Amino acid sequence: MAETSNATAPTQFIVTKLEKYAYRRFGTGSGLLCLQHFTGTLDNWDPAVTDPLASGREVILFESAGLGRSTGEVPTSIPGMAAHALAFVDALGLTQVDILGFSLGGMVAQQIALERPSLARKMLLIATAPEGGEDIMHMEKPELKKITDDPNLPGLQRLVKLFFAPSATSQAAGQAFIARLAQRKQDREPLSGPNVAKAQIAAFRAWEAFTGERFAKLRKISQPCLVVNGVFDNMIPVRNSYMLSEHLPNAMLITYPDAGHGSLFQFHESFVRQASLFLGSEDLWPS
């Protein structure tokens, strides 16, 4: 029987026209391509989200260039990252997938939808921002810098502080989240170094800038989209999700209370239910 958990699914590799990428795929059915957040590797996908989503579809976790055991350099732009994702799906022979883009991954998803509309059937855009968004991953902000600079916080505890709201309930959900990430014992990816962060931050800065009419590109993304965020996201504030849902022609927005950047992990039961409903229903928007 095939593995259907990100705690145990083997890491695979594929050589493409651009780079050799690490990836994992599990579940059967139509594909859900998952694009990861700032500095995250394959090991940062929460089994509480990926595993139930793999019931009825195939979850495909992609490691972009320069992350984990994927070769190459981390691009300094979102289009550069989209090129790697497209090289990956082409090498797998996939012609249509749903896309779950979390944070940085949600920007790559939008770029893919613009460059190759036929590839993306529906998109989940989680804790992300449009081109021309605001306050995107300014890690130099005092409230973020005090977390990343804290010498007493081990890496995963930093993630809890960064991805979850300050409340006791949200922090407890964060501890449960990192315990789930630790379920994978073998065949793990190397952690990202500072060069990864530096290149990805450059891509965020380029994405904040825009030329021409703001948000005009969003009108060209006609795919059904489910936009999701926590109302207390400090890394990519929720108003960026409002911009997406107000300007994408076919987007439903869901926000969660008492939650930050990692709302999908905190409210994983609700998120999986909503994502499954969205991906499964052909007629969410009868109009």
Site of interaction with its own copies (CB under 8 A): 169-170, 172-173, 231, 238-239, 242, 245-246, 248-258, 266-267, 269-270, 273, 277, 283-287
Sequence-distant (≥ 6) Cβ neighbours of residue 113 within 8 angstroms: 99, 119, 120, 123, 221, 223
Identify the three-state secondary structure at position 81. helix
Residue 123: phi and psi, rounded to 5, are: -135, 140
Count the neighbouring beta carbons within 10 Å of the beta carbon of residue 225.
Answer: 28
Count the neighbouring beta carbons within 10 Å of the beta carbon of residue 14.
Answer: 15
Give the shortest CB-167-to-its own copies separation in angstroms.
Answer: 8
C-beta closer to its own copies: residue 110 or 200: 110
C-beta closer to its own copies: residue 54 or 173: 173
48 closest CA partner among 181, 187, 189: 181
Q: How far are the Cα atoms of 8, 54, 188, 189, 193 from residue 185, in angstroms, in the given order?
A: 8, 20, 7, 11, 21
C-beta closer to its own copies: residue 201 or 244: 244
Residue 267 structure tokens = 């409210």
Give the shortest CB-166-to-its own copies separation in angstroms.
Answer: 13
Give the shortest CB-170-to-its own copies separation in angstroms.
Answer: 7
Give the shortest CB-125-to-its own copies separation in angstroms.
Answer: 13
C-beta closer to its own copies: residue 81 or 165: 165
C-beta closer to its own copies: residue 16 or 250: 250
C-beta closer to its own copies: residue 143 or 187: 143
Give the shortest CB-222-to-its own copies separation in angstroms.
Answer: 11
Residue 235 structure tokens = 């890394």
Give the shortest CB-239-to-its own copies separation in angstroms.
Answer: 8
Partners of 226 in the β-ladder = 124, 252
Give the shortest CB-160-to-its own copies separation in angstroms.
Answer: 14
| HSE value, Cβ hemisphere, 13 Å, CA-based, for 154 | 3
Between CA 267 and CA 103 the distance in angstroms is: 16
C-beta closer to its own copies: residue 26 or 278: 278
Give the shortest CB-60-to-its own copies separation in angstroms.
Answer: 27
Residue 12: phi and psi, rounded to 5, are: -115, 170
C-beta closer to its own copies: residue 87 or 284: 284
Between CA 250 and CA 133 the distance in angstroms is: 19
